[in-house]
Structure formats: structure tokens, C-alpha cells
DNA sequence: CTCTTCCAGCTTTTT
DNA sequence: GCTGGAAGAG
């Protein structure tokens, strides 16, 4: 078990010295996750009980990845018991456990951003304020910032500086909105995302014994991406680690790019003064990129003032110079980029999935998508609206939410007239008013027949009662049956199933698929619970769901496609070839940032993050005019291009290839990738563009297996590229197999063009019998 | 109550 | 140029 040998000296020190506070400054590509996982493995090796380790990350993806890496180092039984997860998921777990102390039930709902904004919108209306002046987005942002800085509604009202600031901005009633918002959340037995952290702080402040319990429990605390923590998170970590002081934080101040959502770079900059006895480890060797890329990135970040002194270096080859692609328009940019991708594939044998296009804003993907599509280059767009934010998914989830917590008024309002049952805005408004006046929930009003008869006409009363009965039945079902049965019953009883099935428009079909995918997820949950012997009910399923946003986000390495995403989304990823597009003033750096030096520094760090994604080749492009918000703007090259030391640049080497040329390259790409399949273009995360594009049946290049000539295959024998038969989905081709043991999953593309992820333990797959 | 049209807004984003 | 909320018409 001498995994330590796999580390360099700096990494080893950071892994082996497990006691006391430690700050690991991990430069880009320096093996940050490695150190974190090995350090945890080291603790386990030193016989630290896994449940005494708390490891906090920002995304589900990061924690999943870390857990699986620890599993492979030290075994999955051990890793399963580590308290590892996102800040929000870990503390929601603790909050559910301690909920009564704060006056919540353990089934409390978690409001997502949209719920929060809807609630704020309705409060603004109730207060008869103008929503052009009191913009819900602005108010939400203000409340969120307050919460992240531990300013409760009461404190908000009492803080003179805040009140005078709001008054100066002519928004003096924000404090009232905040106050009512908070009361209403409580009334609904709901917390928003920020509450999960704020209430944890309140719990620890008001219940010292509880704090003590967790302080003692978590002997070792590790925090990933520490530069991204906000004040609320910072304080939780600080409090929890106060007893044992075994706090290890890992991060890179140069990659702090989330201040707009409250992240405080000072947290990492000031770690040493918070913990004077701490050890600092600097991981400065970059294993990812060529010397040229590393040096160029250094030359950029050198322009920032506030940072921890470090020198990132690489022992890799010198590598190609960075190519600058100058274009007249955004269209030409897209065209040139796609042509460069052709040449790359032809000249360097780069695989498409080793190519990424990064941009500052999501809106920039459109032009790129068009050009790639025209040139038949398969691509996937990451980001945009996620699976869980789709309307149909939110609708069915709202039913689940109400079944578990009928006090959740936001969810009730969402479904009370979906599918249409003749309960309109007026009735809902009346219900809400009645609830507010009586200090109760809409659910309570629905259950008060006297009030209903008194305030509504008989037709409406009938509809309301029938809705109440529907909800009551879902509550009953969800308490008696397991998660999957409940979900299915809800889908049918609510009328969602019928509504969706009746709709044969392309959007309707897509909705149906998504609902099905949701139900599949519940089924997978139930199957898993059955196997593990864990609790199988809807409420347990929902605990995880509110905090899931990127389930679909598994990076499909095996699918040979160019990926496109914002730079923010690319953090933590790496690619051989990186295109950073739209390097223009007012776009990157963004127009919002040019007036402030602090903001420019953050944009510069963002550029640094973008550059350091590249392993081998970097391409930077800009256009002199760009279509934005419906009009063409003249643009200037970004200052960031000029900040790169000229010796690393290859300027204007780009020449537009001729058309015939590109045609040939198209074929070359296809020929060199026999597994090429357009099918994979179906949303990875989804993008309207990819979705609206129907999959051609000719794209699934395998013949249908004859049902009479197939034999079952065991999970162990499933391999990529196999042609298999599934009793309900028909013939398909295995794309990827991952996971181990009972968790082994296969991503399969079926004849109908859909990709499904199957848990092999359950999926009955067959292969063709060979004669 | 529901459907349609109108209009504002628009960086980045995880939970 | 697209989305999603709000107001207006049937």
C-alpha cells in the first residue's frame, strides 16, 4: 500500500503531515485532487475511523470523483463511511438531523433559486411594490449576499449602514421583503440554498452542545477549492475545526473566479493568520501543460496584485506556441475555429474529445454550434439549463415535494393548476391571501372546508377539494409504498402521465422522455436501496434530489465529440487542445468588470483558468465585430492578449483553408473515427440546439439482433462496442462501462437513438449467439 | 379561466 | 434573439 511513492516531494509532505492546520496551495495541474485523496487515504491507513473525516467540496461531481478515487486506493467500504460531499449536502444532512432545534421538520423542503425568486415576486406583489423598481433578481441577490455574510433578517433591519445603502438606492423596503421572505420560508418548512449554511451557523451558535458534538466527531476536516468559500462556509469550517485543529484546506488563489456568488479570496490569503501554527505546502510543478502554456499563464497572472507568491513550472516539452486567430466577425470566428479543428485532427491525430471550445458567456455557443454542425463535427454543449431545471421535471418534482411536505406552498402553487384543472390565478391568489391573513399555509386552507365554502363559489370549491384529495392520496401513497411505486403512482394520478403522452409535438416527446428519465432515476434509487438494504421511500429519494443539479453531467470521454462550455464550467478539466474564443474587450474581460480593478483581476484569473486547461495546444481567437443582443457591435481585441509575453505567441499564422480542403478533412475525420456516431450529439447536459435536431436513424450503425439468436450476458463480460439486446429497449451498442461490482453501469446507445445508462446488475442484456 | 401577445432583460453558477 | 413573466383579449 505504498501509494506515497507515486507522489513528488511537495505532494508527499502535504499528504504525510496529517496533524494540525495545513494549507495546500495547489497550482493549476499540480495534482490537487491527488493530494487530497491520498491524504485521506493516509489518514485511513493510520487507522483513523472514516466517519471521523469530513471532506467538503463544492460540486457533487468533485465529491463523487474523490470518493471513487479513495475507493480504488483503500477500498470502498472505508470510503463509503467518510463524511464527504458538498457543503450543502453535508450540512443539509446535519440540519435534517437537528431540525427540531431550529423549529423545522426533518422533511424540510429545499427551495431552489427559482422557488426563492417566485416567493420574492409574490411578496413584492403583496406589499404593493413595483416590480420594475423592486426587481426580484436584485432583491434575491441582496438577500443571498446578506445570508452568506450571516446577516439575518432581524440583523439586516438593525444594521444602519445596510438600511442607508438601500435607502440611497431607493429600495428601502428590501428589509421588509427579506423579513417576510424568511417568515414565509419557515412557514413552508423550507430552506433556500443559503439557509443551509446560514442555519448551520445558527445551529452552532445557539446550541453549543450540538457544536461540540460535531467538533468532537470530525477529527479531520478537509476542504477542496478553499478559495471559493464564502464567509458562511468559512465560519462553519472554522468552528468545526476549533477542537482538533486538523484542518486541511486546498486551493489556488489564482483560480478564484466565484466572487460574484460570495466567494472570498481572503479566506485562503488569510489562512496563515487564522492558524498561525499551520504548515503551508506549495504544489508548483505542473504536470498538465507544456512549458509554453505554463509560462504564458504565469506571465498573465503576474499582472495581478493580490496573490500568494508562487512559481508554477513544468518539466514537459516546450510545445507549440499559442496561436492567435484574428477574425472579422463572430461568424468568421466560428468558421475559422471549426476549420482549425479539422486541421488539428488531420495533422496531429487529436481526438475530438481532446478538443474544447471555451467562452466567457453561454450565448457564444450558438455561432460555434452552427459552424460545427455545417462541417459535420460532432459536439456537445455543456451547461445551459440542466435536467433538473426543466419545466416538466420541476413539475413532477413539485408533486413529490408536496407529497412529502404539503406545507411547501411554492410547490403547491406550481402544481395546483398543472395539469389544467380550472384553478386559475385568482383562486390561487385568494388562497395565498387567506393563508397569509391566518398565518397558516395554503395546505391548511385547503383542508378548511368552512373557509373554502365561505370564500369561493361552489364550482371552485369542488375543484379545490378534488385537488386536496389528490394531494392527500399522494401523501398516503408516498408513506406506504417505496420511492419508485410512489413516483409512478403520482405521475399517473396527477394526470401528468396522460397530459404528456397525449402531446405528440417534438417538445412533447422530449418532455415525455425527460419524465421517463426522472422515473428511471427513482427506479435506480429504489433498486439501489433494495440492494443496500437502505431506506426506500420518496422522502429519502428527495433528500438527495434538491441538491443534485448535474446528474447528466458525467463527462462522456468515450464519445468522440468536441466539447463547448463556459470557462467557469471548465474549471478542473483538461484537454489537449483548447480554443478560447471571443477575446474582446467588454466580452472578456466582461463589460461589467472594466470599471473596477478587483473585478478585472478576477477576469484575469478566469483567463488564467482558461489557459491552464490546455495540455498541448492553445488557440485564442477574437473578432472585430460581433452579434450581441440582436445587434452588431464593433469590438476590440482583449487586453489579455497583449498581456501574454510575445515570445509565447504565434501571431496571424492562421490561413483560411479552401473549401475543397475542408471537405476532404471532413471525410478524414469520419474515416479516422469508425465509431463516429451522430447519436452522441443528443444533449450531454442538453442544449436547445442539440435537442431540436432529430437523430437520423442511419446514424446508429449496427444491425438489429435477431431475438431468436441471442444468449444472456453477465455484467462482468460487458465491454464497450458490444452489440447487445435489451428486452424493452431493443438492440443497442455499449459505449462506456464504468463503476465496479454492483455499481457497474453501462452507457448504451439504442436503436431508437437514445442513450441510456443501465445498472448492469439489473439490466438483462443479451448478445448474439455465435455459431 | 385560458390563450395570446407584449415587453423587459441579458456574465459567470453551484447548491 | 430567446426566455419568461405580465398584461390584454376572448
For A468-502, the pLDDT digits (tens) are: 999 999 999 999 999 999 999 999 999 999 888 88
Q: Sorting pLDDT into bands at 50, 70 and 90, what band is A762? A: low
pLDDT tens per residue, range A295-347: 999 999 999 988 888 999 999 999 999 999 999 999 999 999 999 999 999 99
Closest residue (CA) to C1' of nucleotide B1 is A424
What are the C-alpha distances in Å from A765 to residues A528, A575, A719, A758?
A: 19, 34, 12, 10
Q: Which of A224, A369, A536, A537 is catalytic?
A: A224
pLDDT tens per residue, range A735-752: 777 765 555 667 777 776
**Minimum CA–C1' distance nucleotide for A121:** C5
At residue A672, the pLDDT reads 33
Q: Which of A32, A323, A414, A571 is catalytic?
A: A32
Instruction: For strand B, give the nucleotides within 7 A of a protein CB.
Output: 1-3, 8-15
At residue A222, the pLDDT reads 97
Each residue of A508-543: b (16+ CB within 10 Å) or e? eebbbebbebbbebbbbbbbbbeeeeeebbbbbbbb
At residue A701, the pLDDT reads 55
pLDDT tens per residue, range A146-171: 999 999 999 999 999 999 999 988 89
Closest residue (CA) to C1' of nucleotide B10 is A629
Instruction: For strand C, give the nucleotides within 7 A of a protein CB.
Output: 1-6
- A225 belongs to the catalytic site: yes
Q: Which candidate, A485, A378, A271, A435, places its Cα nearest to that of A699?
A: A378
**Minimum CA–C1' distance nucleotide for A196:** B15
At residue A557, the pLDDT reads 52
Q: Sorting pLDDT into bands at 50, 70 and 90, what band is A724? A: confident
CA→C1' distance for A176 and B4 (Å): 35
Do A159 and A149 touch, CB atoms closer than 8 A?
A: no
Share of chain A above pLDDT 70, in %: 87
**Minimum CA–C1' distance nucleotide for A384:** B13
Do A330 and A584 touch, CB atoms closer than 8 A?
A: no
Q: Does the structure show a pLDDT above 50 at A366?
A: yes
Query: What is the C-alpha to C-alpha distance for residues A315 and A313, in angstroms, rounded to an integer?
Result: 7
At residue A659, the pLDDT reads 33
Q: Which of A115, A194, A195, A225 is catalytic?
A: A225
- A33 belongs to the catalytic site: yes
Q: What is the mean pLDDT of residues A711-725?
A: 74
Give me A407's grid cell. Answer: 406545507
Q: What is the mean pLDDT of residues A628-649?
A: 91
Q: Does the structure show a pLDDT above 60 at A386?
A: yes
CA→C1' distance for A430 and B3 (Å): 22
Q: Sorting pLDDT into bands at 50, 70 and 90, what band is A106? A: very high
Query: What is the C-alpha to C-alpha distance for residues A255 and A312, in angstroms, rounded to an integer?
Result: 13
- A224 belongs to the catalytic site: yes
Q: Does the structure show a pLDDT above 60 at A231?
A: yes
Q: What is the mean pLDDT of residues A572-583?
A: 95
Query: What is the C-alpha to C-alpha distance for residues A332 and A622, in angstroms, rounded to an integer?
Result: 10
Q: Which of A613, A615, A617, A685 is catalytic?
A: A613
CA→C1' distance for A132 and C7 (Å): 14
Q: Sorting pLDDT into bands at 50, 70 and 90, what band is A689? A: very low
Query: What is the C-alpha to C-alpha distance for residues A645 and A66, in angstroms, rounded to an integer?
Result: 36
pLDDT tens per residue, range A19-35: 999 999 999 999 999 99
**Minimum CA–C1' distance nucleotide for A463:** B1
- A32 belongs to the catalytic site: yes
At residue A425, the pLDDT reads 86
At residue A740, the pLDDT reads 59
Count the helix, strand and coil residues of chain A and give each as a percent rounded to the nearest 5.
Answer: 55, 15, 30
Query: What is the C-alpha to C-alpha distance for residues A626 and A640, in angstroms, rounded to an integer?
Result: 18
At residue A284, the pLDDT reads 95
**Minimum CA–C1' distance nucleotide for A602:** B12
A135 touches strand B (CB under 7 A): yes
Closest residue (CA) to C1' of nucleotide B12 is A568
A572 touches strand B (CB under 7 A): no
A224 touches strand B (CB under 7 A): no
Q: Whose grid coordinates read 497550482? A: A27
Identify the burial level of A55 via C-beta atoms within 10 angstroms of its C-beta, where 0-12 means exposed, 13-18 middle and 19 or more buried. Answer: buried
Q: Sorting pLDDT into bands at 50, 70 and 90, what band is A6? A: confident
At residue A410, the pLDDT reads 92
CA→C1' distance for A414 and C3 (Å): 19
A573 touches strand B (CB under 7 A): no
Bridge pairing between strands A631-634 and A625-628: antiparallel
CA→C1' distance for A119 and B9 (Å): 20
Identify the burial level of A1 via C-beta atoms within 10 angstroms of its C-beta, where 0-12 means exposed, 13-18 middle and 19 or more buried. Answer: exposed
At residue A546, the pLDDT reads 77
At residue A108, the pLDDT reads 95
Give me A529's grid cell. Answer: 436501496
Q: How far apart are the first and last CA of chain A?
A: 46
Q: What is the mean pLDDT of residues A597-615?
A: 95
Q: How many residues does chain A have?
A: 771
Q: What are phi and psi of A653, to 5 degrees?
A: -80, -10
At residue A693, the pLDDT reads 28
Q: What is the mean pLDDT of residues A46-52?
A: 95
Q: Which of A37, A229, A255, A523 is catalytic?
A: A255
- Residues A35, A38, A44, CA angle at the centre, nearest 5°? 145
A551 touches strand B (CB under 7 A): no
At residue A550, the pLDDT reads 55
**Minimum CA–C1' distance nucleotide for A132:** B8
Mean pLDDT over the full length of chain A: 86
At residue A216, the pLDDT reads 96
CA→C1' distance for A426 and B5 (Å): 21
Bridge pairing between strands A355-359 and A575-580: parallel
Residues touching nucleic chain C (CB < 7 Å): A 114, 118, 121, 125, 131, 385, 627, 629-630, 688
Q: In what order do the strands lie in the sheet with A649-651?
A: A379-381, A562-566, A355-359, A575-580, A614-623, A322-327, A649-651
At residue A754, the pLDDT reads 65
Amino acid at each position: 500500500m505504498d501509494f506515497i511513492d507515486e507522489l513528488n516531494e511537495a505532494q508527499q509532505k502535504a499528504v504525510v503531515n496529517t496533524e494540525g492546520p495545513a494549507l495546500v496551495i495547489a497550482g493549476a495541474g499540480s495534482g490537487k485532487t491527488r493530494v487530497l485523496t491520498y491524504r485521506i487515504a493516509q489518514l485511513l491507513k493510520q487507522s483513523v475511523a472514516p466517519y471521523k473525516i469530513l471532506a467538503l467540496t463544492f460540486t457533487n461531481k468533485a465529491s463523487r470523483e474523490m470518493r471513487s478515487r479513495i475507493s480504488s486506493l483503500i477500498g470502498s467500504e472505508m470510503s463509503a463511511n467518510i463524511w464527504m460531499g458538498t457543503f450543502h449536502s453535508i450540512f443539509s444532512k446535519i440540519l435534517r438531523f437537528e431540525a427540531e432545534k431550529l423549529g423545522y421538520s426533518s422533511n424540510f423542503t429545499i427551495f431552489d433559486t427559482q422557488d426563492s425568486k417566485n416567493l420574492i415576486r409574490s411578496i413584492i406583489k403583496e406589499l404593493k411594490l413595483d416590480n420594475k423598481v423592486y426587481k426580484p433578481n436584485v432583491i434575491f441577490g441582496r438577500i443571498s449576499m446578506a445570508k452568506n455574510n450571516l446577516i439575518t433578517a432581524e440583523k439586516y433591519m438593525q444594521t444602519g449602514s445596510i438600511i442607508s445603502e438601500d435607502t440611497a438606492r431607493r429600495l428601502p423596503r428590501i428589509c421588509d421583503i427579506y423579513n417576510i421572505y424568511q417568515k414565509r420560508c419557515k412557514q413552508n418548512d423550507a430552506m433556500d440554498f443559503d439557509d443551509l449554511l446560514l442555519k448551520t451557523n445558527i445551529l452552532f451558535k445557539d446550541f453549543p452542545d450540538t457544536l461540540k458534538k460535531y467538533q468532537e466527531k470530525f477529527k479531520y476536516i478537509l476542504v477542496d477549492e478553499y478559495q471559493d468559500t464564502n464567509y458562511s462556509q468559512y465560519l462553519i469550517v472554522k468552528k468545526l475545526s476549533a477542537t482538533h485543529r486538523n484542518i486541511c484546506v486546498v486551493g489556488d488563489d489564482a483560480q478564484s473566479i466565484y466572487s460574484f456568488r460570495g466567494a472570498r479570496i481572503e479566506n485562503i490569503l488569510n489562512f496563515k493568520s487564522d492558524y498561525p501554527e499551520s504548515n503551508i505546502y506549495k504544489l508548483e510543478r505542473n504536470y498538465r501543460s507544456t512549458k509554453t502554456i505554463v509560462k504564458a499563464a504565469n506571465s498573465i497572472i503576474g499582472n495581478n496584485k493580490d496573490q500568494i507568491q508562487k512559481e508554477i513550472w513544468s518539466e514537459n516539452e516546450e510545445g507549440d506556441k499559442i496561436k492567435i486567430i484574428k477574425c472579422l466577425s463572430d461568424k468568421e470566428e466560428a468558421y475559422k475555429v471549426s476549420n482549425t479543428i479539422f486541421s488539428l485532427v488531420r495533422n496531429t491525430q487529436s481526438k475530438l474529445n481532446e478538443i474544447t471550445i471555451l467562452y466567457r458567456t453561454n450565448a457564444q455557443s450558438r455561432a460555434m454550434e452552427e459552424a460545427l454542425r455545417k462541417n459535420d463535427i460532432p459536439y456537445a454543449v455543456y451547461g445551459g439549463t440542466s435536467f433538473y431545471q426543466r419545466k416538466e421535471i420541476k413539475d413532477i418534482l413539485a408533486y413529490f415535494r408536496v407529497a412529502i411536505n404539503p406545507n411547501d406552498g411554492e410547490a403547491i402553487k406550481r402544481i395546483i393548476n398543472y395539469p389544467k384543472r380550472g384553478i386559475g390565478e385568482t383562486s390561487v391568489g385568494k388562497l395565498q391571501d387567506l393563508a397569509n391573513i391566518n398565518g397558516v399555509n395554503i395546505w391548511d386552507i385547503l383542508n378548511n372546508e368552512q373557509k373554502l365554502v365561505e370564500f369561493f363559489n361552489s364550482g371552485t370549491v369542488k375543484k379545490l377539494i378534488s385537488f386536496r384529495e389528490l394531494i392527500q392520496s399522494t401523501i398516503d401513497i408516498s408513506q406506504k409504498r417505496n420511492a419508485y411505486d410512489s413516483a409512478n403512482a403520482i405521475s399517473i394520478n396527477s394526470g401528468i402521465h396522460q397530459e404528456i403522452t397525449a402531446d405528440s409535438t417534438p417538445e412533447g416527446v422530449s418532455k415525455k422522455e425527460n419524465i421517463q428519465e426522472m422515473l428511471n432515476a427513482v427506479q435506480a434509487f429504489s433498486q439501489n436501496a433494495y440492494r443496500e438494504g437502505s431506506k426506500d421511500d420518496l422522502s429519502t429519494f428527495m433528500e438527495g434530489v434538491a441538491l443534485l443539479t448535474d446528474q447528466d453531467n458525467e463527462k462522456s470521454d468515450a464519445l468522440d465529440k468536441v466539447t463547448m462550455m463556459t470557462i467557469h464550467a471548465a474549471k478542473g478539466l483538461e484537454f489537449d487542445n483548447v480554443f478560447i474564443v471571443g477575446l474582446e474587450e467588454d466580452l472578456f474581460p466582461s463589460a461589467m468588470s472594466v470599471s473596477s480593478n478587483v473585478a478585472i483581476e478576477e477576469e484575469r484569473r478566469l483567463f488564467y483558468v482558461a489557459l491552464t486547461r490546455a495540455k498541448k495546444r492553445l488557440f485564442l481567437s477574437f473578432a472585430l465585430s460581433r452579434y450581441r443582443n440582436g445587434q452588431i457591435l464593433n469590438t476590440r481585441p482583449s487586453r489579455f492578449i497583449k498581456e501574454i509575453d510575445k515570445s509565447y505567441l504565434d501571431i496571424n499564422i492562421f490561413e483560411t483553408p479552401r473549401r475543397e480542403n475542408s471537405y476532404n478533412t471532413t471525410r478524414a475525420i469520419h474515416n479516422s473515427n469508425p465509431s463516429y456516431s451522430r447519436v452522441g450529439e443528443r444533449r450531454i447536459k442538453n442544449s436547445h440546439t442539440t435537442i431540436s435536431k432529430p437523430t437520423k436513424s442511419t446514424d446508429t450503425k449496427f444491425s438489429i439482433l435477431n431475438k431468436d439468436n441471442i444468449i444472456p450476458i453477465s455484467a462482468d463480460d460487458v465491454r464497450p462496442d458490444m452489440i447487445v439486446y435489451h428486452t424493452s429497449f431493443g438492440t443497442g451498442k455499449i459505449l462506456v462501462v464504468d463503476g465496479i461490482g454492483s455499481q457497474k453501469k453501462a452507457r448504451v446507445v439504442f436503436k431508437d437513438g437514445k442513450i441510456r445508462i443501465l445498472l448492469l446488475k439489473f439490466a438483462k442484456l443479451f448478445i448474439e449467439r455465435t455459431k
